[in-house]
Chain A
C-alpha cells in the first residue's frame, strides 16, 4: 500500500486566471441606462414644454422630467433584467434622489442665507456699531449689530451658568445614584423635552414679567433659554455617562475610593469629551432660540450690558426684527445677522465634532502622552516616598529585604 501523505495541489497548466470579479461600483450597462434615461427625459420634457403643451415654470420642468426619467429607466432596465432587478434598481435611484433632495435643500438654505447676507458683512461698522443712530433709510455703512452680539453672549452665558452645573449634576445623579426618585427625575426631564419653546417663553413672561418680579430683560430671556436647554443637556449627558464602562467604576471602587472620588476622578474625566459635546450642542440650540426670547427680552436698538433691567436683544430676535421692515437695507442687515448667527452655530457644531466623535476613554496622542507623563510622575513620587519612609523609620522587615 502506497504511503498516503498530505500534499499541496499544484495548479494545472491548462487553467487560465479569469478577470477578478468586480463586487462594487456600477457596470457600464447601468451607467448607460442612467445616462440614457436622463437624456431622454430632459429631451422629452423640453419638447413637451416648448411645443406640445402650455406647461411652464422651472419646478414643473424638474418634476415632469424626473417622472419621465423614472419611467425611461424602468423601460431600459427591463430590456435585460427580471422584475426583482428592476425593482432593486428603481428603489436605489429613488433612495439616491431622496438623499440628494434633502442634502441639496439643506445646503441651499445655508448658502442662500450666507449669499444674501454677504452685502452687509464686509462693512466693519456692522460688527462695531449699534442700530441706535441708524435710520430706516440709512445705508449699510451706518449701524451694526454689536448690541445683539453682546446680548446673545450675555444671555447664553447666564443660561450656561445655570444649565451646565444643574444639568450635569442631574445626569450624574441619574446614573451614579439611581433609585426610584432618579427614575422620576428622568421621566420628568424626558417630558420636558417636548415643551414647545414658545410655551417656555410664555411661562417666564407670565410668571416673572407680568407679576413684576423681573422686567423684560436679558436675565428673563436667559431663564427662558435655560428652561429649554436644561432637558437637552440632561438627556445628552445622561446618554454619555451611560457609556462609561462599568469595569472602570468597579476598579475604582475596588481600590477603596468613595463614590464621590469615583465620579470626580473616573467617571467625569472618562466622559469629558462627550459631556463637552452635549453642552456645545445644547448651546447651539439655545443660541438659535427665537420664540422664547421674543416674549421675554424685549426689542431694542441700543447697547445694554445690564442683564437685570431694560430690553436686551439677541441675534435671532434681531434677525426677526430686521426682516419685518419693508426697507431693503434692513432686510440686507437681517440676512447679514442671520449669516453671523449661522456661522456661530456652524463653528460651535464643528468644535463639537472635533471634541466629540470619540468614545469615552479614547485619547488623542497628546492626551495619551500627558497621561503617561502623569503616571511616570506618580511612580517617581511613590518610590521617593517609600525611600523616605525607609530612611526615617527602617522596619525590621525592610532590613531583611535590604539584605536580600
Chain B
C-alpha cells in the first residue's frame, strides 16, 4: 500500500481525537454485523421458500408419477419395449420402436428445413440488415414463436399437403436411387397415385420445422450479436469482405449458439403433438420412406390412444411419454449448457 504524508492511503484520520470524549463511557462493543431477521422478513423468507418448494413438488410429482407408472409397463415388456413396433398393450405386445423412429424422422426432417432458414435469417438480422429493418424483423420472428401449433397444423393440412404432393412425386420419381426417397409398395413397385404421398413424415417435418425456426433464430441471433466488435473491425480493417469477417469472427464466436439453438429446436420438434397428429396417418411399423404416407410419433400415439386405454395401457402410454420426456430433457440440458458455456463470463 502506498503512503502519502506518512499515513497509509485509506486510513481515516480523525482530527478530533475520539478517546478523550469516550473515556467516561465503557469501550464500544463491536456491532453485530448480521442483525436478526425482522418478523416481516421471516414471513417473506418462509413464503418464498415454500413457493419454490411447491414448484419443485409439482414438477417432481409429474416426473415421479410418470416414472413410477411407466416403469410398471417397461418392466412387464422388458427389452421388447425398445424393439417391438406394434402397440397392443392388451396383448402385452407393445414397444416404442416404430413411434420413436417416426418421432426422430420427423424431427430430423424438421431440422433440415429449419436449420438453413434459422442460420441464414439470424446472420441476416445480426450482420446485414440496417437497424431500422432489424427493429421490424425481430418482433415478427418472435411473434411466430407464439403462434399456436394448431394453426400451423391447419396450414399444413389445408394448404401444404396439396402443394407438396407434386414435389414429393417428382423427388420420388427422379431420386428413387436414394433409398429413403423412394416410394414403393411391398413388392418394390414405384407408387404414383396421390394417396401414397398425402400424410407423410416429410410434410409433417416441414410444418414442425417452420414451428421451431423462431426458437433457433433467436438463440443464434443473440450468440452472433455477442461477437466482439474489436475482432470484427480488425477483420474488416485487414481487408476481409463481410462474409470473410463472418467466417473468421462471427461464426467461431457463435458456434455455441448455433449448436445450442439447433438442439433447443430439436427438443421442441420432438415434443410437438397437435400439428403432427393432424397431418400424419398413424401406422405402427417403421417406415423408412419419408415421402410415403404413414408415420407416427410418440406424442401422436398418446393423443390417439389415451381414451381407449385400460389402466395397464395407460401406464404403457406413460412409459412412452417418459422416454420422450427423458430424451427432450437431455437435449435441452445439453443445449443450454453449450449456450451458457459459449457465453463468456456469464453466470447462471
Residues in A lying within 8 Å of B, measured CB to CB: 24, 56-60, 84-85, 87-88, 91-92, 94-99, 101-103, 105-110, 112-113, 116, 165-167, 169-170, 172-174, 176-177, 181-182, 184-185, 188-200, 202-203, 205-207, 210, 227, 230-231, 234, 258-261, 263, 281, 284-285, 287-291, 294-295, 316, 319-320, 323, 331, 334-335, 338, 341-342, 345-346, 348-349, 353
Contacts and interface: CB of A to CB of B under 8 A. Distances in A.
B53 to A, nearest CB: 8
Given A99-B121, A106-B140, A202-B317, 18 more contacts: A87-B241, A102-B217, A103-B140, A105-B210, A109-B210, A112-B155, A112-B159, A177-B49, A190-B333, A195-B328, A195-B329, A199-B322, A210-B314, A258-B37, A260-B38, A281-B146, A295-B303, A345-B148
Contact of A173 (B49, B130, B144): B49
Given A102-B121, A196-B270, A198-B321, A107 B52 contact: no
Nearest to B169: A57
Contacts of A320: 150, 153, 274, 278
Nearest to A175: B48
A157 B248 CA distance: 50
Main secondary structure of the interface of A (DSSP, over half): helix
Interface residues of B, number: 98
12 contacts: A92-B243, A99-B125, A103-B140, A106-B147, A108-B155, A195-B328, A199-B324, A287-B148, A290-B150, A316-B274, A341-B151, A345-B146
Nearest to B277: A291
A107 B151 CA distance: 12
A97 B117 CA distance: 9
B148 A288 contact: yes
A206 B314 contact: yes
B331 A194 contact: yes
A107 B146 contact: no
A288 B49 contact: no
Contact of A335 (B154, B241, B332): B154
A38 to B, nearest CB: 19
Nearest to A318: B150
B166 A258 contact: no
Contacts of B18: none
A136 B133 CA distance: 47
A153 B23 CA distance: 73
A173 B163 contact: no
The 5 closest A-B CB pairs, nearest first, are A98-B120, A288-B148, A196-B271, A169-B51, A260-B44
A177 B267 contact: no
B150 A92 contact: no
A176 to B, nearest CB: 7
A184 B44 CA distance: 20
Contacts of B331: 194
Interface string B37-74: 11011011101110110111011111101100100000
Contact of A95 (B120, B139, B154, B328): B120
Contacts of B274: 290-291, 294, 316, 320
Contacts of B333: 190-191, 194
B251 to A, nearest CB: 12
Given A193-B332, A210-B311, A316-B150, A198 B55 contact: no
A198 B302 contact: yes
Nearest to A105: B210
B302 A189 contact: no
Contact of B117 (A58, A98, A200): A98
A183 to B, nearest CB: 9
B141 A102 contact: yes
B318 interface: yes
Residue from B44, B45, B61, B154 with most neighbouring chain A CB atoms (10 Å): B154
